[in-house]
Amino acid sequence: MKNISFVNYKTEYKQLREEVLSELDRVLTNGDLILRGDVEKFEKDFAEYVGTKYAIGVNSCTDALIFALKALGVKARDEVITVSHTFWASIEAIIHCGATPVLVDVGEDYLLDVEKLENAITPRTKAILPVHLNGRVCDMDKIMELAKKYNLRVVEDAAQAIGATYNGKMAGSFGDAGCFSFYPAKILGCYGDGGIITTNSPFMKRMAWLYRAHGQGIKSKDYPIIYCGWTSRLHNVQAAILNLKMKYLDGWVKRRREIAKLYNEGLSKISQVKIPPQSDNVRQDAYQNYVIRVEKRDELHEYLKENGIETLIKDPVPNHLQPAVTYFYGVTNLPMSEQLCEEVISLPMYPQLTEEEINYIIKTIENFYAK
Ligand SMILES: *Cc1c(COP(=O)(O)O)cnc(C)c1O
């Protein structure tokens, strides 16, 4: 029997240890802790990677989403359209702006169903918040088309989608802003919390600088306090770690795609398993998560655990049926989101996963359904 964890921070650290320690030593020796050159370098390189003019480092993707919405003027009594089938932070960010989250259903690909989008638009709608879940970009052509037609702002939740493309363009480069997370389990993770906003708007950049550092600019001594902000900077030490990890990013995304391919090949033979949507000419997915839909999901989860494989059932209760939503906004009915919450399970997915481990996971799932 093997022991395969759902995330594997330790193996990655083993691989990067010398580089990490030497970077930590450099940064700490220089006393470069808050908004120093490492943050600036990372912001510049990250913007270039995504293909936007600017990137502004903050302390999490959740704050990135809140700041982006606020900078676009989202406020009380506005509506922002997003999905229920996402990590709760996408919805939370809307509520923190005082706005009302309007949750629409997802399609078979786990992403915002653009056929349902136009119906959800009202005179109060201010923005759309598409979530590129599992590292697959939403139908951005259609979303941008509707945004233009109804004069809506677009904030992309790209927390799971660094490296994912749509018609050759990177996630996070379509809307007014893209928001990314460097939570350790994300494709590009730091050693704590971190996030970033990508944008082409100098106004968005300026506002994010103010929000993240108490209403003062990046060089605080040069600016008066002109706004009430927060403490939400990307730490310089984390930025140094992210700078060194950026070198590996393309290789890691490539490896995730290879692993997905192996899973696809092995699992598509099992009739009780539905593999995730495939990359094609339009989309190259980044596979933050490898999520399958299965019969007897909870039993499979237990069986895999008994066989040394850790998997994740993310949201047994969909977000739109959580008390924090129903109490304030009432009950909505989103059949596909509800069905997915009963069927989905995430398999281990990280670049350090070996071929032997992947085959063992596939074999164990086969054994479960052969019983
Ligand atoms: C991880 C995640 C977030 C939140 O990121 P943090 O950096 O932890 O705040 C938001 N949205 C999605 C889809 C995520 O996966």
Mapped to the 3 state alphabet, what secondary structure does 29-66 carry? HHCCCECCHHHHHHHHHHHHHHCCCEEEEECCHHHHHH
Torsion, CA 110, CA 113, CA 117, CA 119, rounded to 10: -120
Question: Between helices 236-267 and 355-370, what is the axis angle to 10°?
Answer: 50
- The single-letter DSSP state of residue 4 is B
**What is the distance in A from the centroid of ligand 1 to the CA of 4?**
24
Q: In this predicted structure, what is the pLDDT of residue 221?
A: 63
10 Å Cβ neighbour count for 74?
23
Q: Indicate which atom in ligand 1 lies nearest the CA of residue 132.
A: 13
SS3 257: helix
Ligand 1 atom 14: the closest Cα is on which residue? 159
Q: In what order do the strands lie in the sheet with 283-284?
A: 169-170, 165-166, 283-284
Distances (CA, A) of 240 to 27, 45, 70, 169, 237: 7, 12, 28, 26, 5
pLDDT of residue 98: 97
The interaxial angle of helices 297-306 and 355-370, nearest 10 deg, is 130
Taking only the tens place, the pLDDT of each residue in 106-147 is 999 999 999 999 999 999 999 999 999 999 999 999 999 999
User: Is the CB of residue 183 below 6 angstroms from any atom belonging to ligand 1?
Assistant: yes
Distance 212 CA to ligand 1 centre (A): 17
Tens digit of each residue's pLDDT (9 = 90 or more) over 276-319? 999 999 999 999 999 999 999 999 999 999 999 999 998 789 99
Residue located nearest, by CA, to atom 5 of ligand 1 = 61
Six token digits for residue 1: 């029997």
Strand spans (E) along the chain: 54-58, 79-83, 100-104, 125-128, 153-157, 165-166, 169-170, 177-181, 195-199, 273-274, 283-284, 290-294, 344-347
What count of other Cβ atoms lies within 10 Å of the Cβ of residue 17? 10
Region 160-169: mean pLDDT is: 98
User: How much is the pLDDT for 315?
Assistant: 79
What is the percentage of the chain residues whose pLDDT exceeds 70? 98
Lowest mean pLDDT among 24-28, 36-40, 323-327: 323-327
At which residue do the structure tokens 């093997």 appear?
A: 2
Strand 54-58 and strand 195-199: pairing?
Answer: antiparallel
Question: Closest Cα to atom 2, ligand 1: which residue?
Answer: 159
Give the chain's mean pLDDT. Answer: 96
Give the pLDDT score at 216.
Answer: 81
90 lines ligand 1 (CB under 6 A): yes
* Residues, the chain: 371
Ligand 1 pocket, mutate which of 69, 133, 138, 160 (most atoms under 8 A from CB): 160
Ligand 1 centre distance from Cα of residue 282 (Å): 25
- Nearest residue (by CA) to ligand 1, atom 6, is 61
- Cβ of 87 closer than 6 Å to ligand 1, yes or no, is yes
Assess contact for 146 and 118: CB atoms under 8 A. Answer: yes
Ligand 1 lined by 181 (C-beta under 6 Å): yes
Residues 117 and 128: their CA atoms lie apart, in Å, by: 9
Which atom of ligand 1 lies at the shortest distance from residue 182's CA?
Answer: 7
Name the band, by pLDDT with cuts 50, 70 and 90, for residue 220: low
State the pLDDT at residue 224: 78
Q: How many CB atoms lie within 10 A of CB 5?
A: 13
**Residues 29-63, buried b or exposed e (16+ Cβ, 10 A)?**
eeebeebbebbeebbeebbebbbbebbbbbbbbbb
Residue-wise DSSP of 340-363: HHHHEEEEP--TT--HHHHHHHHH
Q: What pLDDT, on a 0 to 100 scale, did the predictor assign at position 52?
A: 98
Q: For 25-39, 76-90, 211-225, which range has the lowest pLDDT when averaged over its residues?
A: 211-225
Is 222's pLDDT higher than 90? no
Q: What is the pLDDT of residue 1?
A: 79
Relative to beta strand 100-104, strand 79-83 is parallel
Structure confidence at residue 39 as a pLDDT band (50, 70, 90): very high
- Ligand 1 centre to CA of 194 (Å) is 10
Give the pLDDT score at 219. Answer: 59
As a whole number of angstroms, the distance between CA 316 and CA 345 comes to 10
Do 105 and 336 contact (CB within 8 A), yes or no?
yes
Look at residue 102 and tell me whether its pLDDT is greater than 60: yes
- Ligand 1, closest atom to CA 181? 7
Structure confidence by residue, pLDDT tens digits, 331-358: 999 999 999 999 999 999 999 999 999 9
From ligand 1's centre to the CA of 89, what distance in Å?
6
Q: Tell me what pLDDT residue 217 has.
A: 63
pLDDT-based confidence at residue 218 (cuts at 50, 70, 90): low
Find the mean pLDDT for residues 73-101: 97
Q: Quick one: average pLDDT of 16-27?
A: 98
